[in-house]
Structure 1
Amino acid sequence: MHISAKADYATRALLELAREPARPLTCEAIASSQQIPFRFLKSVVGELRRAGLVRSQRGCEGGYWLGRPAGEVTLLDVVRAVDGELITLRGEPLAGLDYPGPAAGLPGVWRQIEADAAAVLDGTTLSALLPAAPAEQLSHKGAA
């Protein structure tokens, strides 16, 4: 399975935005913090904006924010926003894939891999990936 640079960069950018949701971040700040090429990040953030995963404001007080709360954005949302289909075979979706003869069972394996990957990605939100704040870490320790 191939994880694209776009999906990786998009997720890292969204995690930067999720870390401090109250203030906007510029692409320059995100690129610098995550060591992502600025020009590539601008393109990726544009795709995230079109998908509703980020919102933007122009001007000196502008920048980017998450388009939805971090707990509502899954990795599957991110991958589909920047890459489209989760898994393709030679650039084609797996849905209509059909092979003759002894290879007839293979498309089912590819589709199962796609379904399993989608389940993992759909079950992982941005907020689940964020490190816990020190106060939260202390309250969890006390609850144990």
Structure 2
Amino acid sequence: MLINDIQDQLVEEFELMDDWMEKYEHIIHMGNELPPMDETLKTDNRLIRGCQSRVWLDAKEQNGILHFEADSDALITKGLISMVVRVLNNQPAKDIAAADLYFVDKIGLRSHLSSNRANGLASMIQQIKALAVHFNSAN
């Protein structure tokens, strides 16, 4: 599935919800659905800088396709990284590097998150895009 198709699917899910309490619950639920990250991968070099909570991200590349594992020690933040991983996982590095992640604004995340969480989300996206550029230039 293409990045924009996954983003559109995510936006549609959130459009079905009436209020932000319900949306926050859905974000937490998505975080709880994130596959567990191997504890040995939760190292300092995999921490995303700029997040108030601890967020770990691991990326592996296979034939130009990136595979991500992620986790966080905070419920909402774990839900946010799960959304980003859902959109960008198993995609070509070049597509990730060039992606416009419009779902963040269409869902209203930027305007409904605290400034610390919004900055953390931006850091997550920036880190994933930097990894994509790195893997893309390595090929």
- From the two aligned structures, give the one with the greater strand fraction: 2
Query: TM (normalized to structure 2)?
Result: 0.27
TM-score, normalised to structure 1's length?
Answer: 0.27
Q: Which has the higher helix share?
A: 2
